[in-house]
Structures are given as C-alpha cells and as structure tokens.
Chains A and B, each alone.
Chain A
C-alpha cells in the first residue's frame, strides 16, 4: 500500500497544499491576503464567477434534464438504443478541442447552421452566436451530454421494472408512474449526475478560448487563472483563482448533496423478496 500512498501524496496532496499555500503569498513569497483582495475588488476578475456560472449552469441543467426522457425512451426500445447510444458517445472520443474547432465553422455566419436556418426561412440575418458565451454553452452541451446521458441511463436501468408494473396494476397512468415512482427513485442519481457534470462544465477552458469571447462574456475562472499564470507570470494569483474555483464548486456540491440526503437513497433494484 505504501507505493500507492506515496504516489497520491507526491502527485496530488503535495501539489494541492503547495497551491493553496501559494495563494496566500506575494510573488516574492511574502505571506499575504492581497491576492484574494485583488480578486474580489477587481470587477474584471470578480465577474469571472458569474461568467462561469452563466455558461456552466445552463449547459449542465440541459444535459441532465434532457438525458432523462432520452434514456427512458431508449430503455423501452432496445434495438434503437444500440444506434442511439453509439451516436451519443462519439463526442467523447473527439474531445473538447476538436469539437470547439468544428463549431468555429459550423456556427459561423456562413456555417452550416446559419445556412440551413436562412434557407428554411426561419431567420433573415445570421444568428450571432459565435465568439459569445452562447457558443461555449453549445460546445459544452455537445461534449458533456454523453457523460450525463450514460450516468442517467445507468441509474434508470437500476430501477426494478416490476415497480412500474405494480404501479400500473394499481391504476397509475404513465404520468403518475413517472412522478410517483420513477422520479423519486431517480432523484438521488440525478443529484450525483448534476454534481459531476457541473464540475466538468465549470472547468471549461478550450471552448471558452476558441469559441467564446475570452476577454468579454467568456472570461471564465479557468481563463483568468491561465492568464495570471502564463501571461502575467503571477503564480500566486493563479493559485488564488483555482482555490476560489474549488470553493465555489464545493459550495454547490454541498447544497445539492445536502438536498439529496433528504431523499430515499436505498436500493432501487427491488425489495428483498
């Protein structure tokens, strides 16, 4: 066990602690709180929190919520689900950078999306989405959806189908079955899925740089940290921004998991029989 502990200590624990301590120093090594003060007094830095939220939250909510009806539909159609699942997983293999690059063309004024929308007469002017935070949200949805979908699919398939049958025999319509049986048993899993998907989305970086407006509405926490580290060579500030990112994520996760604790979290595979 010792090699494992040493590995984790060296490659994870030590850098973390080093980073945290660095955030409380000036560039010359003098202990200080000035980095944090600078962050919260400079609007350009402070606004990164809301910029990141404005991108990460809608993308995560979309991914988690849309996964549910799709996964439910696929569970009832095993033949179709093979194709659909394969299609959905493909973006994972492409990675965030490739997807962002592709969207540069796709979402542009002469790109596929605008051409189709204008040809069908739905819009007159090209949609101005590229190089705004909206394009970043689209990119996050494409790369983040497979992850949420697979998680939701696995939670849903863990719910004993006999429970739905029993509900039917007790007179429940399909809407009632979803609301009174499926959703309560799925909710703890959705909370976990949300936490994981949110953390992924919150650390958005390449999409923000490539597709967004990294000095404007897509000036997210990770971009600010990268600028501090690699453009200003201010590693303490970069560490500060990273610590703040982690704290915000922990707060959100804490709230969601706290709510989850009040739900039934036992096995959904069926009573012991």
Chain B
C-alpha cells in the first residue's frame, strides 16, 4: 500500500505564502500557523484569494512566494497526490462514471488496497454521512446535498490529517446549508480532524470555526477567534463584512475635552476611540444595534423601505442629512414614518478614514490597523 509521504504533523505553517498570475497578486503574504485539531476558516468576498490559498496548501497550485511547512519542513517538493490531504471541492467534482461506492472507494483503490479491505471502509464512511442506501447510484442521480455528502465521505475515508474544504455549502439551499454545517463540525470533532474551510458566508465562519482569517484582494485583514472578529473587527472592511452595515463618514475631535464624533448632522459618542486620532473617520454600526428604545446617540430616521422578517422588521431609512441608515426593530413601522433611535456607545465602531477609502482601495494594499494576534 502506497502511503502518504508526509508524517503526522503538529503544526501547519504558511510562511509569507503568495501567488501571482501574470503580474497580479491573487494572494500576498499569508502568514498563518494552524495547530493539529483546529478548525480555521478563510473568509472573504469573491476574488479575495481564499481559494488560491487553499490550492497552495493542497499543492495543486505552487505558491510564487513563501512556503508551506509542516512542523518546520517545507513541503513544496511533495506533489498533491502524496500529501495525504483530503479536499472537498465547491462543485464536488464527483466522478460521473462511477457510482457512490466507487467514488468513495476511489482513493483506497489508488493505494492498491485489496477489495476486501476497501469495502468495509467504504461502508463505514457512507454510514457516517448517512448515505448507505444510495451506494449504487451515480452522482447524476443524486440531489445536491447528497452529492456533497459523497464528496465529504470520499475525502474522509482516507483518514486524512488535514481536510481542505472549498465553499462546500455554497450551492445548497439555506436549510440544507445549516444542517450540513452542523454535520461538518460534528465530523471534525468526532474524528479529530484539522480543517481549513473556505467560505464567503460570515455566519458559516462564525458558527464553525475556532479561528477566522479574513481576506480581501489577497491580503490578510484580520486573524482571530469568531468573537474577536465579530466584536472587535480590525478595520472598516472587516466590520462591514461581519455585518456592521451602517457606514457614516464623520470627524473625530477632542477639542471640547471629550472625544465627539460629528457628521451627517449627528453628534455621537463611542467607547472605541482610544487608538484613533482626531480627524476624518469611518463609523460603523450594526443594524441590530440601532434601537428605538435607546436614547443615547440619538438618530432621527425617516423610513423608506420596511421588510417583514417575522420577529422583527428590517428598515432602510434616511437621516435628515440624506445618509442611509439600516436598522432593526420589533415595533411595526410603515414607510414614511419617522422614528427616533439610539445606539449604545460601545456599539459604535470607529476607524481612521483611509485617504484612499478603505472600502474602495482596488489593490487593498493600504490597510491601517490590521490586528493579527499570534495564534
């Protein structure tokens, strides 16, 4: 039996990993250390380099700079077929000419395991993803969710020491996505896997991960636990991506003795200004933190669009200055109503305003305040 060329690792290290295509950097300077057993998500919008990073780790795409190391040893000489990493692709990449059993057993057959050893392992893998009854079907006869479970079983049956998952849930409907999400984490825990998970869905990343790496245009924006990334985003981009959808251009001034944010006809207080200098800033607030019951940091909002969400209403409105505001309220409102809301000062995030505009920088190279806590 041809085994993997790599020994069991304790630490996977990405050291300045970058990948260029025709002079354009799809990924730059990714530094990350992942311990055995961790579940790490690479999170970001399309084109941020997360899939590129995954492909560099798998070996399918050699990095143009930096190196991927296992326990200090660079593995760039080890081809992907000898790394023993499991990979689940976004569109599953199931072999259409083989049935489910043959798909799942493929890796074991490539190792030239005798059929008597392949069959029980395949059955066990199928059982783990609850697909025992569909063993003889072809991928074309399966639903999306079933195909995805076959793809997972196919990777798991080889007992890989590292699982790489490239947006495995993005082609499924919302309900199935939530169910499979739990399944994936359960398998990770039960089997003691190490998982690197690529997604653009912040909710998925928050619920699944031990740590999240937020990427944009190939560069790392923040690395942290879900709580760190959610409650203390490192910059305005991460804040926006994690759901701080209200964005106000304001000015911070301590001239009066206390730090005051002014702009858009508002005067706001925030507890998060200690590290920020006076001057133009970007203020970020979550829609669910804009509360009609609060009276501090008052905003007067003219409601334009009201969306019923069952337990609450999502409201798109305007300040008197014309600035758009998103808020959430459980009290019924109608378009045309004016409501007064407040925001707690500790939920007002303040970021220095980039001269280029942090949200608009095309190459993403100018990012102040990137917080990278050591893993």
Within 8 A of A (CB), among B10-68: 58, 60
* A-side contacts of B95, CB under 8 Å: 163, 166-167, 181
A-B contact pairs, 22 of them (CB 8 A): A160-B93, A163-B95, A165-B93, A166-B87, A166-B154, A167-B106, A168-B60, A168-B81, A169-B85, A170-B154, A171-B2, A171-B107, A172-B110, A185-B97, A266-B140, A267-B96, A270-B93, A271-B93, A271-B139, A271-B140, A273-B90, A273-B91
Report the minimal beta-carbon distance from B169 to chain A, rounded to whole angstroms: 11
Contact B97 A273, beta carbon cutoff 8 Å: no
Name the interface residues of B107-140: CB closer than 8 Å to any CB of A: 107, 109-111, 138-140
Q: How many residues of A contact B (CB 8 A)?
A: 26
B371 to chain A, nearest CB (A): 33
Minimum CB–CB distance from A184 to chain B (whole Å) comes to 5
* Chain A-chain B contacts (Cβ-Cβ < 8 Å), number: 94
The answer to the question of A268 belonging to the interface, with a C-beta cut-off of 8 Å to chain B, is yes
**CB of A173 closer than 8 Å to a CB of B:** yes
| A271-B96 in contact given A169-B80, A169-B87, A171-B158 (Cβ < 8 Å) | yes
The answer to whether A176 and B110 touch across the interface, beta carbons within 8 angstroms, is: yes
| Least CB distance, B278 to chain A, in whole angstroms | 51
Chain A residues, CB < 8 A from B171? 273
Identify B110's interface contact among A163, A171, A266, A268, CB under 8 A: A171
Interface size classification for chain B:
35 or more
| Any A CB within 8 A of the CB of B144 | yes
Across the interface, do A162 and B89 meet the contact criterion of CB distance under 8 Å? Answer: yes
Q: Of B90, B97, B107, B140, which one neighbours A170 at CB under 8 angstroms? A: B107
Chain B: which residue is nearest A165 at the CB level?
A: B60
Per the 8 Å Cβ criterion, residues 155-199 of A in contact with B are 160, 162-163, 165-173, 176, 180-181, 184-185
Looking across the interface, which residue of chain A has its beta carbon closest to that of B90?
A273
In angstroms, Cα B98 to Cα A184, docked, is: 10
| Contact partners of A259 in chain B: CB under 8 A | none
For residue B94, CB closer than 8 A to chain A, the reply is: yes
Contact (Cβ within 8 A) B93 A162: yes
Distance to closest chain A CB from B300 (angstroms): 47
**Shortest Cβ gap from B167 to chain A (Å):** 10
B226 beta carbon closer than 8 Å to chain A: no
Known: A166-B93, A168-B81, A185-B96. 13 other contacts (CB 8 A): A166-B94, A166-B95, A169-B85, A169-B86, A169-B164, A171-B2, A266-B96, A268-B96, A271-B92, A271-B93, A271-B140, A271-B147, A273-B171
